[in-house]
Amino acid sequence: MTDKEIIKRLYNNYINKYLNKFFFALFLSLLVAGSTAAIAWLLDPAIKKIFVEKNTDFLLLIPITIILAFTIKGISLYLVRTMMIKVGASIEKEIQQNLLESIINSDTQVIEKKHSGKFIGNLTFDAALIIQLVSSSVLSLIKDSLTLIALLSLMFYQNWRLSLFAIIMIPLATITSKSLGKRMGKITAELQIKIGMITSYFLEILKNSKIIKTYQKEQFEFARADKFLEEAKEKGQKMGIILVRSTPIMEVLTGLMIAGLIYYSARMVHSGTLEINNFFSFLAAMMLSYQPVRALATLNIGIKQGLAGARRVYEVIDLKRKIDENINAKDLVIDKAKIEYKDVSFAYDDDKEILKSINLKIEGGNIIALIGHSGAGKTTIMNLIPRFYNASSGEILIDNQSIRKVTLFSLRKNISLVSQDITLFDDTVLSNIAYANSDASKEKILEASKFSAAHDFVERLPEKYDTLIGENGVRLSGGEKQRISIARAILKDAPIILLDEATSSLDADTEHKIQEAIMYLTKNKTTIIIAHRLSTVLRANKIFIIENGKVVAEGNHDYLLKNSKIYKNFYNKQLRPH
């Protein structure tokens, strides 16, 4: 996107709805400009009437008028800045909302490819740069431009020859700003990348703190942290130095202008072509004009930073979805919840195929187990049903309806997922269970908790169902987290259950309770289980052996034990009770 296209989008998406606020900001900026010019102009009569002519009639009038001018300027500045802060905050919320919506709706594959820290950088660092552009920079453009115009008008009114001499600084400052703005846009993009890396690293440190301690890698992580922080420090320093680089240039220019002005004005006063009171009024106007000149000179830097941030934000907002609704999609109608895979193949982008011509038939209400070594493609088979990914070829049917031709909402509404990677929110036990159905009554939630064998341990928690469980349930054991996850699935009461069973690391008593909970969850439901336990396999109506992305054998336990060498070998090594 070009800078012009980004500005147009920002205007259409965000600024346009606050136009009345910007027009009011324009009115207040006119008051600021007028009162600033009035302050400089009042020095003319003040010197002439009070000091030169010694007219006592103006002794109180002019000071009071000056106080009034400063008051109007101060109140107007306060009001316009306060209003733009509110506008900026509202726009920031909208940008962050759009970002979050895009991230939540984006394909699973997109989320997995980009580290969460980079998304956080978009949400915080880049959003702040855009707000600087649409509020601070726009305000500066309006306010400082009007103030400069008012002061230049006063200067030309006082003496056009001196004004021509004084305004030489403006193009010089503009050239300096343009040069610095280009460099600032580039360094801001580099800094954002470094901040994203630091955020990603920080999240990993928090998540893996026990591993760091266990493997005694504190010093190693200190060194890695120092490397990341040093790189960010260097970029931040460079950005700060570029920002202040305009200061000595502007100060030298200001010094040259004032020195030259005093010399030139002194000659005009001596020749009688300029009165002393005009000179002081002109000098005040010129000194006051250098503040907006400086602000406008550095405005290009803020604009370049904001546009760089907006470009990165729009890259996320504009993420293309592969998993999207078919235009003519209809709601999925469940009869028996029969599932069928027809020649289904799958590959991540252009990588080698993970699944190769998978054919499965799962009768409604049946339990099927997927058996195979790690990386065989079991989880991928499961993930294709809720369309976390789309099959590269072939078709998946539920009650003879292609999942590509039904709405995503109706498809996922009929599916419950219990994964070995348990996901819980930093909220109460009650809220985590109710996440499956926010309209469920307390009685229904408690019922689901009892059937999942979670109720007893929840009742022993400090605040029972109102206990906060911490980030991803950090305050709970593995078995407790799994039972809450199962309670959530029970509460949803979906006709299709996807279960990546995770009981291998649990103690016997906990495993027994979870197995009972799973039996209740899967009762009369079409269930696909990635099996890790013999008890699960024995309960399955049919077992599919997955090897290198293919179905190499199928049948029940007894049949496969007699007729499949792969299954027999797998049974002897992993499933046989010891």
Task: Give phi and psi for 394, each to the nearest 5.
Answer: 90, -170
pLDDT at residue number 576: 61
pLDDT at residue number 178: 62
pLDDT at residue number 510: 67
The predicted model gives 279-305 an average pLDDT of: 78
**Among 286-300, 323-337, 425-439, where is mean pLDDT lowest?**
286-300
Residue scoring higher pLDDT (131 or 293): 131
The predicted model gives 144-162 an average pLDDT of: 86
> Of 539, 29, 43, which is closest to residue 277 (Cα–Cα)?
43
The predicted model gives 170-195 an average pLDDT of: 68
Whole-number CA gyration radius for the chain: 35
pLDDT at residue number 573: 73
Give 560's DSSP letter. H
pLDDT at residue number 317: 86
**Among 466-470, 502-506, 526-530, where is mean pLDDT lowest?**
502-506
pLDDT at residue number 577: 56
Total residues belonging to the chain: 578
**Among 112-126, 340-354, 547-561, where is mean pLDDT lowest?**
112-126
d(CA 89, CA 493): 41
Say if residue 7's pLDDT is above 90: no
The predicted model gives 45-62 an average pLDDT of: 80
Q: How confident is the model at residue 181 (pLDDT cuts 50, 70, 90)?
A: low
pLDDT at residue number 398: 92
d(CA 427, CA 429): 7
Three state DSSP letters for 340-375: EEEEEEEECCCCCEEEEEEEEEECCCCEEEEECCCC
Give 338's DSSP letter. -
Residue scoring higher pLDDT (49 or 404): 404
Sole residue written with tokens 């009345």: 20
The answer to whether 162 and 289 have CB atoms below 8 angstroms apart is: no
Percentage of the chain surpassing pLDDT 70?
A: 92
The predicted model gives 107-135 an average pLDDT of: 78
16: Cβ–Cβ under 8 A, 6 or more apart, which residues? none
d(CA 157, CA 521): 86
pLDDT at residue number 170: 66
Say if residue 545's pLDDT is above 60: yes
pLDDT at residue number 472: 75
pLDDT at residue number 75: 94
Residue scoring higher pLDDT (172 or 316): 316
DSSP 216-258: T-HHHHHHHHHHHHHHHHHHHHHHHHHHHHHHHHHHHHHHHHH
The answer to whether 499 and 482 have CB atoms below 8 angstroms apart is: no
pLDDT at residue number 185: 63
Residue scoring higher pLDDT (249 or 106): 106
Say if residue 533's pLDDT is above 80: no
Three state DSSP letters for 264-281: HHHHHHHHCCCCHHHHHH
- 127-130 long-range contacts (CB < 8 A, ≥24 apart) are 127/92, 127/95, 127/96, 127/99, 127/309, 127/313, 128/92, 128/309, 129/188, 129/305, 129/306, 129/308, 129/309, 129/310, 130/10, 130/91, 130/92, 130/95, 130/306, 130/309, 130/310, 130/313
The predicted model gives 431-458 an average pLDDT of: 88
DSSP 272-317: TSS-HHHHHHHHHHHHHHHHHHHHHHHHHHHHHHHHHHHHHHHHHH
DSSP 400-450: TEEGGGB-HHHHHHTEEEE-SS----SSBHHHHHHTT-TT--HHHHHHHHH
pLDDT at residue number 342: 92
**Among 88-97, 213-222, 325-334, where is mean pLDDT lowest?**
213-222
pLDDT at residue number 502: 58
The predicted model gives 121-138 an average pLDDT of: 82
Say if residue 349's pLDDT is above 80: no
The answer to whether 285 and 40 have CB atoms below 8 angstroms apart is: yes
Say if residue 306's pLDDT is above 90: no
The predicted model gives 413-437 an average pLDDT of: 87
- 34-38 long-range contacts (CB < 8 A, ≥24 apart) are 34/72, 34/150, 35/69, 35/70, 35/72, 35/73, 35/76, 36/73, 36/147, 36/150, 36/151, 36/288, 37/147, 37/150, 37/151, 37/153, 37/154, 37/285, 38/65, 38/69
d(CA 307, CA 436): 40
Q: How confident is the model at residue 296 (pLDDT cuts 50, 70, 90)?
A: confident
Say if residue 359's pLDDT is above 70: yes
pTM, rounded to two decimals: 0.74
Q: How confident is the model at residue 31 (pLDDT cuts 50, 70, 90)?
A: very high
Q: Which helix (H) or strand (E) holds 398?
A: strand 393-398
**Among 79-88, 235-244, 374-383, where is mean pLDDT lowest?**
235-244
Q: How confident is the model at residue 483 (pLDDT cuts 50, 70, 90)?
A: confident
| Domains, the chain, with CATH or none | 3-194+236-317 (1.20.1560.10)
Q: How confident is the model at residue 270 (pLDDT cuts 50, 70, 90)?
A: confident
pLDDT at residue number 115: 67
pLDDT at residue number 508: 65
Sheet of 526-530, strands arranged across: 415-418, 496-500, 526-530, 367-371, 542-547, 550-555
Q: How confident is the model at residue 295 (pLDDT cuts 50, 70, 90)?
A: confident
The predicted model gives 443-455 an average pLDDT of: 88
pLDDT at residue number 518: 79
Sole residue written with tokens 């991928």: 380
